[in-house]
Amino acid sequence: MAKKNIRTILRENAVTIMFVVLCIIGLYFSGQSVSFVMYELFGRISRNAFLVLALIIPIIAGMGINFAVTIGAMAAQISALWIVEWGIGGLGGFMLAVLMTLPIAAVFGFLIGKLLNKMKGQEMIGGLILGYFANGLYQLLFLFIFGNIIPLNAPGLVIKGSSGVANTINLASENGIKYALDGMLRMPVKDAVYWAAGIGIAIMLILLALKKADRKKAINSCIALALAAGLITIPAVNELFSLASVPTVTFIVILMLCLFNNALLKTKLGQQFRAVGQNRVVANAAGINVDRTRVIAIMISTVLAGWGQLIFVQNMGSFQTYGAHEQVGLYAGAAILVGGASIKKATNGQALLGTILFHLLFIVAPAAGKNIFGDAAVGEYFRVFISYGVIALALVMHTWRGVKKKKDKQPEMEKA
Amino acid sequence: MKDNYILEMQGITKRYDENTVLEDVNLSVRPGEIHALLGENGAGKSTLMNVLFGMPVIHNTGGFEGQVFLDGEKVDISSPNEAMQKGIGMVHQEFMLLPEFTITENIKLNREITAPNIVSRVFGKNLETLNMPAMASDARKALDAVGMGIDEYIQVAGLPIGYMQFIEIAREIDKTGIKLLVFDEPTAVLTESEADNLIKVMKKIAASGIAIILITHRLDEVIEAADSVTILRDGKLVANCETKDTTTIQLAELMVGRRGESVVSIERRELATDKIALEVRDLHVDMAGEEVKGVDFNVYEGEIFGIGGLAGQGKIGIPNGLMGLYEATGEVSFYGKPIKLGDPKIPLSNGMAMVSEDRKGVGLMLDESIEDNIVFNAMQVKDEYLVKFPLFSLRDSSKIRKQAESMIEELDIRCTGPEQHTGTLSGGNQQKVCIAKALTLQPKFLFVSEPTRGIDIGAKRLVLNTLVRLSREEGITIMMVSSELQELRSIADRIAIVSKGEIVDILPPDAPDVDFGLAMSGIKPDTHREEREEA
């Protein structure tokens, strides 16, 4: 294979590069201080990254972006409602919600998977529409069944003199789950970097001693970690992160999901995901149960999305009962695409980079819009427009690349 | 004697509804031998293998009659998976490889070697971690067995096609307990040196005791590689012999043979070769599955030029490329005037027309009436059948009706009237509408691709007679592509036989069967002239 030239690199990473440029422009015009942006960014990463990471498995299994994560979010909100009703707060409440979400989201995921198997090749549009449809059932559940057929007693959960669950569910009350996860081991960025560097280097050295890691890689990562620690020691750099603080446990959970994704792909099941994602016919001929593999992929994704939504709402402290789940699929999908993933390939790194860039733009866009156009709404409009635009662009580029590949192949074949 | 055979298939008969595709076929293969299964397209080779592998297509259509013995034991294979477990493997014609996996991952696909971990002890085997080094060493062994020195960690994407074939073979060999390997036209996509290499590897595998069934229509390959051969023709067993007792010539004759009476019989005529209508030089056509790789030929004015050959060899690509329906390169001139390829409008406006092999996809708009279909191209290409106004034009209904009615009468299209939708017509009548559509363009040159595919014998006769009449009475030059050799031999003046995207030879229709048989398997008949004279 020939060395990739700059044009190919630019073309293959067009979306990511465009976003970096947009973020820099936005940052410049927003007039916001870096430390404020960092503060916002850390918060947004901690609440969104998990959801974005939940999309990786279905992409690898060849099902595109799982827009049906919306339904996983619904499962999470059902659990969240009940722990509020029961008045179980704090970490215990959060863990209970996590446990409750698991079976609910798994059942939903199973049904979604079954349905998507009936519409192979149309999974993305299928998932999107399924999300809208499920929203109807969700509303029926929350407006009519909960509070009427199944009575709810917790104060503020039902609108007085009306029926159905209130518009907003508050998790910030005394025994709510606000910051159940984020509040634990919260520390300044500087400390967090020191800890991360220390533990990271220790793990690398242990692995090296056990001869389980590639020598060069291990040394490189040790140097990188040490550099990061050194960098944060510089007061000017530390100043940039002065407002931000790290919800350590949440970040550890996100890290664990990354490791989970990686480990899963190294198992037999992961191999099946990858095989099914590349070519269903070949996978089937090898005796892999294609339909079952796809259902498992969607189930995993739906459960993870549910947990992601729980992390999201515990950070926010409340959620819009009828709206919090609606944009989950769209924003997570846009974020992973921004990070350079395609609807065929995605990695943890792309998901995390995408989350950072996408939310960076979200932070700076309103202020930038206000400064450039004199109206914050323009910036707001801009970021919504961008998220749809990114998805559309990614889809077009996917098709376009396919055509291009076919054309590139032509002369090669004639040579042979 | 049963014990001597690894596989015996006895009295296999398979019907799809009324249609008998296999009739009382026997196939016996000994361990360690290469057994060729020879036949034209539609001879029943694939159906026989589908029976062997227990493919759903067999069981969903009422099963089959006859018995299958494996190692002398009667077996009833009901699914490809079961066949696999019984030690029957298949090397597919279309490679069943995943491009983004490494060679190792492909060879061990779904047979990965795994090691248990904490999670898998709870949730089961599927979550066990892959043991890549162990998989790679297995892959290495299999690759060595097929004589491939390539690194087992290389990704499959980008490898030459010949390599992919060997990886497929390595995968089958790696399966434990493999007894019988079926190669489905393995050399169809290979270059000559790759094919030679493959045959060597096949012999090596056979020498290790694994039996091989080689499905092919290439005669020289049979002679070179196989120990014994079974020949099928039209679903019937024609011969079953040892390769050493036979010759390419005999095989060619057995494979093609005379099949019944020809549908139409017309008198031969002297072909006038003074005026060239169509001159084609170095034509390449990029049509998936029917690729054309550089053909040269002339078509004389007024002749019927037949193009024959087996499916997938590129004969259908020729008219499609010339008419600009698929991407093509080459030099084409029509009555001396150069024709640019790639735009269907150019050949159409120069007086060429085509009756496509894809009646329902390309040929007809099924939800439109017969009359609209008939005049559609003339309207679009030649601006005929229109009433013109300064800024727009309207369809000229009365003229269209007149043309449609005359065509319906002339071609005997059985319909309720010119307004009937073409989708409701029978296949034969649809084909006639396609011809009418092409004729309405008043072409000088007509491409006809597979004109009799899927239509009954009466309609066949009519279509063929129409073509003859167009050629002899109206002087239209015709290029006819057909899989039915008999049909070409009954009406064409010359027949070009295409193999591997190239023209092997252009034969007169009364050339002996052997010549056609040899040409279809890619051997120029002249090369065997002496051998035949000896015989």
Q: What is the mean pLDDT of residues B325-347?
A: 90
ipTM above 0.95, yes or no: no
Which pLDDT band holds residue A412 (cuts at 50, 70, 90)?
Answer: very low
Asked if A272 reaches chain B (Cβ–Cβ under 8 Å), the answer is: yes
Q: Give the position of tokens 């970690």.
A: A225
Closest Cα partner for B216 from B248, B186, B193? B186
Asked if B19 reaches chain A (Cβ–Cβ under 8 Å), the answer is: no
Kind plus residue range of the DSSP H or E element containing B305: strand B304-309
Does A194 map to a domain? yes
Inter-chain CB proximity A279 and B98 less than 8 Å: yes
Tell me the nearest-neighbour CA distance from A250 into chain B, angstroms. 23
Write down all domains in chain B, each with its CATH number in brackets. Answer: 1-86+179-246 (3.40.50.300), 97-173 (no CATH), 274-351+443-535 (3.40.50.300), 360-442 (no CATH)
Q: Do the bridges between strand B7-16 and strand B88-91 make them parallel or antiparallel, or are there none, so unpaired? A: unpaired
Q: Which residues of A touch B98 (CB under 8 A)?
A: 274-275, 278-279, 282-283
Mutate to test the interface with A, among B109, B128, B167, B192 (most CBs of A within 10 A): B109
Does A256 map to a domain? yes
Q: Which residues of B touch A272 (CB under 8 A)?
A: 110, 126
Asked if A278 reaches chain B (Cβ–Cβ under 8 Å), the answer is: yes
Nearest to A287 among B84, B160, B191 (CB): B84
Judged against a pLDDT cut of 70, whether residue A2 lies above it is answered with: no
Q: What is the mean pLDDT of residues B462-469?
A: 88
Q: Which residue of B has its CA nearest to A275?
A: B98
Question: Under DSSP, is residue B483 helix (H, G, I), strand (E, B) or coil?
Answer: coil
Which pLDDT band holds residue B129 (cuts at 50, 70, 90)?
Answer: confident
Asked if B175 reaches chain A (Cβ–Cβ under 8 Å), the answer is: no
Asked if A106 reaches chain B (Cβ–Cβ under 8 Å), the answer is: no
Lowest mean pLDDT among A396-400, B66-70, B311-315: A396-400
pLDDT at A413: 43
Beta bridge partners of B355: B448
Q: What is the pLDDT of residues B13-47, one digit of tens each?
A: 988 877 788 888 999 999 889 999 988 777 888 88
pLDDT at B40: 77
Does A262 map to a domain? yes
Spatial distance between the Cα atoms of B448 and A269, rounded to a whole number of angstroms: 51
Asked if B110 reaches chain A (Cβ–Cβ under 8 Å), the answer is: yes
Q: Which residue of B has its CA nearest to A278?
A: B98
Nearest to A271 among B96, B130, B160 (CB): B130
Q: Which residues of B touch A287 (CB under 8 A)?
A: 81, 84, 110
Tell me the nearest-neighbour CA distance from A351 into chain B, angstroms. 21
Other C-beta atoms closer than 10 Å to the C-beta of B59 total 15
Q: What percent of chain B has pLDDT over 90?
A: 19
Q: What percent of chain B has pLDDT over 70?
A: 96
Lowest mean pLDDT among A130-139, A293-302, B122-131: B122-131
Tell me the nearest-neighbour CA distance from A276 into chain B, angstroms. 9
Spatial distance between the Cα atoms of A304 and A119, rounded to a whole number of angstroms: 23
The answer to whether the CB of A298 falls within 8 A of the CB of A119 is no
Lowest mean pLDDT among A293-302, B394-403, B482-491: B482-491
Asked if B100 reaches chain A (Cβ–Cβ under 8 Å), the answer is: yes
Q: Which residue of A has its CA nearest to B114?
A: A268
Tell me the nearest-neighbour CA distance from B95 into chain A, angstroms. 8
Comparison of pLDDT for A278 and A218, the residue scoring more? A278
Comparison of pLDDT for B285 and A395, the residue scoring more? B285
Which pLDDT band holds residue A310 (cuts at 50, 70, 90)?
Answer: very high
Q: Which residues of A touch B286 (CB under 8 A)?
A: 410
Tell me the nearest-neighbour CA distance from B321 into chain A, angstroms. 16
Tell me the nearest-neighbour CA distance from B127 into chain A, angstroms. 5
pLDDT at B533: 55
Asked if B244 reaches chain A (Cβ–Cβ under 8 Å), the answer is: no
Q: Which residues of B touch A271 (CB under 8 A)?
A: 105, 109-110, 112, 130
Residue A13 structural domain: 6-415
Q: Which residue of A has its CA nearest to B194?
A: A416
Q: Which residues of B touch A266 (CB under 8 A)?
A: 129-130
The answer to whether the CB of B71 falls within 8 A of the CB of B28 is no
- In chain B, count H helices and then E strands: 19, 24
Inter-chain CB proximity A272 and B158 less than 8 Å: no
In SS3 terms, B376-416 reads as HHHHHHHCCCEEECCCCEEECHHHHHHHHHHHHHHHCCCCC
Spatial distance between the Cα atoms of A180 and A172, rounded to a whole number of angstroms: 10
Which pLDDT band holds residue A260 (cuts at 50, 70, 90)?
Answer: very high
Distances (CA, A) of B344 to B287, B339, B369, B432, B437: 15, 11, 23, 21, 15
In SS3 terms, B228-275 reads as EEEEEECCEEEEEEEHHHCCHHHHHHHHHCCCCCCCCCCCCCCCCCCC
Which pLDDT band holds residue B260 (cuts at 50, 70, 90)?
Answer: low
Which pLDDT band holds residue B496 (cuts at 50, 70, 90)?
Answer: very high
Q: Do the bridges between strand B477-481 and strand B445-449 make them parallel or antiparallel, or are there none, so unpaired? A: parallel
Does A1 map to a domain? no
Which pLDDT band holds residue B118 (cuts at 50, 70, 90)?
Answer: confident
Q: What is the pLDDT of residues A67-109, one digit of tens each?
A: 999 999 999 999 999 999 898 888 999 999 999 999 999 999 9
Does A228 map to a domain? yes
Asked if A33 reaches chain B (Cβ–Cβ under 8 Å), the answer is: no
Asked if A405 reaches chain B (Cβ–Cβ under 8 Å), the answer is: no
Asked if A263 reaches chain B (Cβ–Cβ under 8 Å), the answer is: yes
Nearest to A269 among B81, B111, B126 (CB): B126
pLDDT at A408: 59
Which pLDDT band holds residue A411 (cuts at 50, 70, 90)?
Answer: very low
Q: What is the mean pLDDT of residues A290-319?
A: 94
Tell me the nearest-neighbour CA distance from B158 into chain A, angstroms. 8
Q: What is the pLDDT of residues B272-282, one digit of tens each?
A: 778 889 999 99
pLDDT at A402: 66
The answer to whether the CB of B295 falls within 8 A of the CB of B519 is no
CA atoms within 13 A on the CB side of A129: 8
Spatial distance between the Cα atoms of A276 and A294, rounded to a whole number of angstroms: 8
How many domains, chain A? 1
Inter-chain CB proximity A274 and B100 less than 8 Å: yes
Judged against a pLDDT cut of 70, whether residue B529 lies above it is answered with: no
Q: Which residues of B touch A282 (CB under 8 A)?
A: 96-98, 109
Q: Which residue of B has its CA nearest to A1?
A: B158
Most distant CA pair in chain A: distance in Å? 79
Inter-chain CB proximity B96 and A282 less than 8 Å: yes
Q: Which residues of A touch B80 (CB under 8 A)?
A: 285
Lowest mean pLDDT among A402-416, B239-253, B300-314: A402-416
Inter-chain CB proximity A267 and B110 less than 8 Å: no
Spatial distance between the Cα atoms of A129 and A125, rounded to a whole number of angstroms: 6
Tokens linked to B17? 């509804």
Number of A–B residue contacts, CB under 8 Å: 65
